[in-house]
Amino acid sequence: MGAPDAMFVGSVDFLRSFIGIIRRPYETYRALSLRRNWWEIAHIALLLVFYFATASLVKTAAFRPYILTRQFLALASTAGATAILVSATLWIVGIRFFGGRGEYLAFARGWAYTLIPTVLWFWTTSILFVAIPPPRTASIQGLAFSILYLTFSAVLFYWKVMLSYLALRFGMKMDLRQIIQTVIVSSPVIALYGVVMYRFGVFKVPFI
Amino acid sequence: MNDILYQKFVKRWEEVTDIPPQKFGILTPYYKYIVGWVKSAPWLFLVCAAALTVVGLYYVLGPSVTYLVTLLQRGF
* pLDDT tens, per residue, chain A with 208 residues: 677 788 888 889 899 999 999 999 998 998 888 877 788 889 999 999 999 999 888 888 777 888 888 888 988 998 899 999 999 999 999 999 998 888 888 899 999 999 999 999 999 999 999 999 888 888 999 999 999 999 999 999 999 999 999 999 999 999 888 999 999 999 999 999 888 888 888 888 888 8
Q: How far apart are CA B65 and CA A147, in angstroms?
A: 8
Task: Please name the member of A143, A149, A159 whose beta carbon is closest to the beta carbon of B63.
Answer: A143
Give this complex's ipTM: 0.84
The residue-averaged pLDDT of B60-72 equals 92
pTM for the full predicted model? 0.90
Query: What is the distance between the alpha carbons of residues B41 and A71, in angstroms, rounded to a whole number?
Result: 40
Say if CB A133 and CB A61 are below 8 A apart: no
Q: Chain A to chain B, count of Cβ pairs less than 8 Å apart? A: 104
Comparing A21 with B22, which gets the higher pLDDT? A21
Residues 6+ apart with CB under 8 A from A44: A14, A112, A113, A115, A116
Q: Is B20 an 8 Å CB contact of chain A?
A: yes
**Residue A95 near residue A163 (C-beta atoms within 8 A):** no
CA dihedral A187, A193, A197, A198 (to 10 degrees): 50
Cβ proximity of A122 and A207 under 8 Å: yes
pLDDT for the residue numbered A4: 79
Which of A1-15, B18-32, B42-56 tops mean pLDDT?
A: B42-56
Residue B20 has pLDDT above 70, yes or no: yes
Task: Tell me: pLDDT of B30 over 80.
Answer: yes
Q: Which of B18, B21, B69 sits opposite A150 (nearest CB)?
A: B69
pLDDT in tens, B1-14: 578 888 888 877 87
**Testing the interface with A: which of B13, B37, B58, B76 to mutate, by most A Cβ within 10 A?**
B76
pLDDT on residue A64: 83
Looking at chain B, which residue has its C-alpha nearest residue A147?
B54
Shortest alpha-carbon distance between residue A50 and chain B (Å): 14
Per-residue model confidence (pLDDT) at position B4: 85
Q: What is the pLDDT of residue B75?
A: 84
CB-count burial class (<10 Å; 0-12, 13-18, 19+) for A44: buried
Of residues B43, B50, B75, nearest to A154 (C-beta): B50
Residue B28 contacts A where some CB pair is shorter than 8 Å: no
Question: How high does pLDDT run on average in chain B?
Answer: 87
